[in-house]
Structure 1
């Protein structure tokens, strides 16, 4: 869900000698590079683990160093690649165990030993499931016409960058926002095993008279390989993995290169990735009919349905808070958010902390009810005018600003007259 991606700079090389393909020679070289990466990561941790959250921060570059070898093994064809029948069986088993884990956790006194056993059993299927879903996404990318021709070999097309993700527990994210407006004002990745007490302590350090914060769980990060949350349903997982690949894809185009530049760069990127990820997942569902036994697709045990319309209530709250903050009524806005948080809780929707930072994070996704940004409707208009994920991304990848988006919509409308 975060748009960060490692960028590679290519430099000129000497003469190239053609050699036969020897994957195990590459495996030795990759393993050596991975060990060096781990050593550099360890040294970096000692040098840079300072500041108010020392020992609690998550270092993304270390994740990429740790997973460097596995990622390259996958790209050069070393490792499992189950056929369709075996792949579907792996998916059914993996997500069935995920449902068991979520049910075991959803008790008054979880049996930790039993849960550890289930997690260990599920890990046996993890690599196969990653390969199967990567293949599904790659096929959807091809169907959408998003593969690129190789330089000098235009007849050969490939997915760039290659689809690559790891199923794991993502880090958590500390979001800060000014009290007087809703704006992301510095994020910090945190370890995924922090207790509630740890989280509340971190938030207390981040808060002051002018700033509020919240620590949120995230579904994935567009590192390379991407980090994708492992405790979700099949439908949610293929959409998240597709979303993260779209971030990888956009990183090579003007839209992705705006990430982190402030303003509307994050809403433009995230809303585009959300919509394109959703549509790639729809192509996967159409082309690969995976059937699961009832309630064994990774879902948690059913709970009572909320008695209110969350989207309507949250959108109304966001508009109310925007208006109060615009009038300088900060205390009134914070009171309104806390009152609505309690109202949600009374109606079966639990939100631990609802403040300006909460809206700053979830509002990045401009099509969400937590957002009041008109970009969401405009990007949806691009989709309505293209109705094809490949065409949609070829338009959106060139957009760098809201005026660019408006101009793209005008061109699409003119072309259809």
Structure 2
């Protein structure tokens, strides 16, 4: 038991070391001064949540504390996420007129949160056990540990003459759009780089920060994604996360694919609803006249890359803004598209903003694997990007 607790403590420490690397430099500058009040404190998060979670877990196993049935826990989790939709509907009608009812629902949700976190952790753990990720005595390390909270933002920095994430800093959640714009403009003019403040759905602190403003399915997928980062940290894949941009992309994309596989399974186990990612738009065939966001985003990335390769930086930036307006005219709002936008979103290689071949290669590996366990344990051993095509027996892209 002592060694197990010691390993948990180690995980919390290395979380600070790992994520501390994204906190930016200590060199004072006008942009540093402007960003500083908005920085997210990883240390405070760990202090506030690490021990609290494990004290709560220990209290639950005391003999005089009864444990609800799995059915009751699942029903509670569904109610918890259903309350979000109800609160939003009341706010749309009139936040002022419905203030009392909204407060009642928020208090109800707050009272349920710890139990629902435990349910999500338990359901994901059950899938991991089924997939062979537990020890001989049934222990999963690191344990699935999630806290529902407002997820931090992130300040992403890319050079202007190419698309590449060269720095990132975690920021407090909920920074207003006008403040984001001011920070980005200041950094642009002071440092001569492309900057973007983005929102996140979760961060792999320990316990993970997971936004619970979406659906139960969303929370399961994000929680599984972040837990995979915890596990990858103890494997060659995660230990080489910071080697270069391609290794970061390999880590993030593997966690995304694995998180979907595990989260989808957990959602089906809880609700009986089968997630069909091959037909996410429904049973109807796609409308050829409908706006294709993925195609538009890929076209934007390709043209921006081409302009930057020719040294046409201002032209590329103007083009990206024109395309943002075009996408907005077609019903999809994106606050800003610039080099930092593609640097961040491009690290998820199965997404529309990425040109990386890593996504296709990982999907080939997934499709050729007999199980989730085989897929994840294979990719976890990769310490270099070239290990992936080499394993598949294809030429390195």
* Common fold: TM-score over 0.5: yes
What is the CA distance between 1:405 and its match in structure 2? 1.0
Query: Which residue of structure 2 aligns with residue 363 of structure 1?
Result: 346
Alignment of 1:243 onto 2:194: no
The separation in 2 between residues aligned to 1:94 and 1:286, in whole angstroms, is: 17
1:187/1:107 Cα in 2 relative to 1: closer, same or farther (>3 Å)? farther
What is the CA distance between 1:328 and its match in structure 2? 1.3
Deviates more, 1:72-81 or 1:317-326: 72-81
What is the CA distance between 1:77 and its match in structure 2? 5.3
Kindly indicate which of the two structures has a greater share of residues assigned to helix: 2
Q: How do 1:194-205 and structure 2 match up within 5 A? A: 194-205=175-186
Query: Which residue of structure 1 aligns with residue 125 of structure 2?
Result: 138
- Number of residues paired by the alignment? 351
The one of 170, 177, 188 equivalent to 2:151 is 170
Q: CA RMSD in A?
A: 2.7
1:60/1:104 Cα in 2 relative to 1: closer, same or farther (>3 Å)? farther
What is the SS of the residue equivalent to 1:366? coil
TM-score, normalised relative to structure 1: 0.78
Query: Which residue of structure 1 aligns with residue 192 of structure 2?
Result: 210
The separation in 1 between residues aligned to 2:88 and 2:197, in whole angstroms, is: 22
What is the CA distance between 1:193 and its match in structure 2? 3.2
The one of 44, 47, 50 equivalent to 1:62 is 44
In 1, are the aligned partners of 2:78 and 2:216 still within 8 Å (CA)?
no
Alignment of 1:350 onto 2:337: no
1:287/1:398 Cα in 2 relative to 1: closer, same or farther (>3 Å)? same
1:111/1:63 Cα in 2 relative to 1: closer, same or farther (>3 Å)? farther
What is the CA distance between 1:186 and its match in structure 2? 1.1
What is the CA distance between 1:202 and its match in structure 2? 1.9
What is the CA distance between 1:387 and its match in structure 2? 4.0
The separation in 2 between residues aligned to 1:159 and 1:216, in whole angstroms, is: 32
In 2, are the aligned partners of 1:126 and 1:167 still within 8 Å (CA)?
yes
> Which string of whole-angstrom CA distances, capped at 9 and with x for unpartnered residues, describes residues 284-323 of structure 1?
13322267xxxxxxxxxxxxx9941111111111111111
1:131/1:362 Cα in 2 relative to 1: closer, same or farther (>3 Å)? same
The separation in 2 between residues aligned to 1:410 and 1:77, in whole angstroms, is: 51
What is the SS of the residue equivalent to 2:99? helix
1:266/1:84 Cα in 2 relative to 1: closer, same or farther (>3 Å)? same
The separation in 2 between residues aligned to 1:315 and 1:346, in whole angstroms, is: 17
Deviates more, 1:115-124 or 1:244-253: 115-124
Query: Which residue of structure 1 aligns with residue 284 of structure 2?
Result: none
TM-score, normalised relative to structure 2: 0.82
The one of 83, 93, 96 equivalent to 1:97 is 83
The separation in 2 between residues aligned to 1:242 and 1:53, in whole angstroms, is: 31
Q: How do 1:76-115 and structure 2 match up within 5 A? A: 76=58, 78=60, 81-106=67-92, 113-114=99-100, 115=102
What is the SS of the residue equivalent to 1:214? strand
The one of 373, 383, 393 equivalent to 1:400 is 383
1:243/1:285 Cα in 2 relative to 1: closer, same or farther (>3 Å)? same
The separation in 1 between residues aligned to 2:364 and 2:377, in whole angstroms, is: 15
Query: Which residue of structure 2 aligns with residue 187 of structure 1?
Result: 168
What is the SS of the residue equivalent to 1:319? helix
1:349/1:9 Cα in 2 relative to 1: closer, same or farther (>3 Å)? closer
Query: Which residue of structure 2 aligns with residue 310 of structure 1?
Result: 293
The separation in 1 between residues aligned to 2:47 and 2:74, in whole angstroms, is: 31
